Amino acid sequence: MRFDLITIFPDFFSSILAHGVLRRALAAGLVDVRVHDLRAFAHDRHRTVDDRPFGGGEGMVLKPEPLAEAIESLGLPPKADRETTPGSAQVILLSAQGARFTQSIARDLAAVDRVVLICGRYEGVDERVSQLFCDRELSIGDYVLSGGELAAAVVIDAAARLVRGVLGNEASSEFESFGLADLGPDSATDGPPRSTHGAGGILDYPHYTRPAEFRGLAVPEVLAQGDHAAIRRWRRQRALEKTLRNRPDLLAAAALAEDDRAFLRALGWKG
Ligand code: SAM
């Protein structure tokens, strides 16, 4: 999978590409990230990429011509002339006005061969860039950043780790927060539970490692007793509790068994 980033701050990405899962994915050739300096597509002496807004008001706006040239230099024509078959390229504008980026969108992107991410700055990007070239606008949350670079880094990290082969254990992304796996307490498997909390769209359960006691807090006993069914049940319940406490909105669409619902109702859930 290949990402192309268009930005006025190309150096911004050197750190995120040099660490952890992303670094390994790049080294293994599973993911390719190319960073393009928008100013290379400006033709005046000052390499100008922004201008004042029509209609007046504060700030500057990224001009359409350098962005159009940058996108076209990647071999991507305006979207009207592009194939929109699954698996082909997606051109994405990072924008506070975009649709909210989610794990489900990250999964969709991980299945695409090529993703182009356009990082806005100042007051944003001339609207015609989105109209002509972008398949979607994505926001990473309901707040305003000073530039699209941080948002692009979030999108790359979330999508790249879902590309086949990037995480050592293929199943591990299925069993984390917002995962697709639904292994409730009744779906017992032989052997130790890997991460079997039955995410099914809910949050992950709490994790513990050594030491068994830390500053007066002991690791829950059930985790040390080797009863896999009990561990699975405990993890499922803690994941449900945490979701109810921190993200009750997720429960409406989550894959819940009848005993999950009973457990949540006993905690005051009204669903
Ligand atoms: N005037 C814009 C607004 O109110 O929606 C904010 C522009 S912001 C200062 C500059 C750039 O940061 C945007 O063009 C976009 O690329 C990026 N940005 C800001 N917030 C973002 C968010 N929540 N998600 C994704 N990108 C964001």
Ligand 1 within 6 A of CB of 92: no
Q: Quick one: which of 112, 202, 98, 176 has its CA closest to 140?
A: 98
Ligand 1 within 6 A of CB of 120: yes
Residue 130 pLDDT > 70, yes or no? yes
**Rounded distance, CA 122 to CA 101, Å?**
21
At 248, give phi and psi (nearest 5°): -60, -25
Which residue's CA is the nearest one to ligand 1's atom 8?
146
| pTM for this predicted structure | 0.91
Q: Residues 239, 198: contact at Cβ < 8 Å?
A: yes
Q: Residues 102, 148: contact at Cβ < 8 Å?
A: no
pLDDT digits 0-9 by tens, 60-73: 999 999 999 999 99
pLDDT digits 0-9 by tens, 205-224: 999 999 999 999 999 999 99
DSSP structural state of residue 239 = H
Q: Residues 218, 175: contact at Cβ < 8 Å?
A: no
Helix (H) or strand (E) holding 189: none
Alpha-carbon torsion 156, 158, 163, 166, what sign?
positive
**Rounded distance, CA 90 to CA 116, Å?**
6
Average pLDDT, the chain: 91
Ligand 1 within 6 A of CB of 184: no
Ligand 1 within 6 A of CB of 145: yes
Q: Residues 38, 67: contact at Cβ < 8 Å?
A: yes
What pLDDT, on a 0 to 100 scale, did the predictor assign at position 198?
43
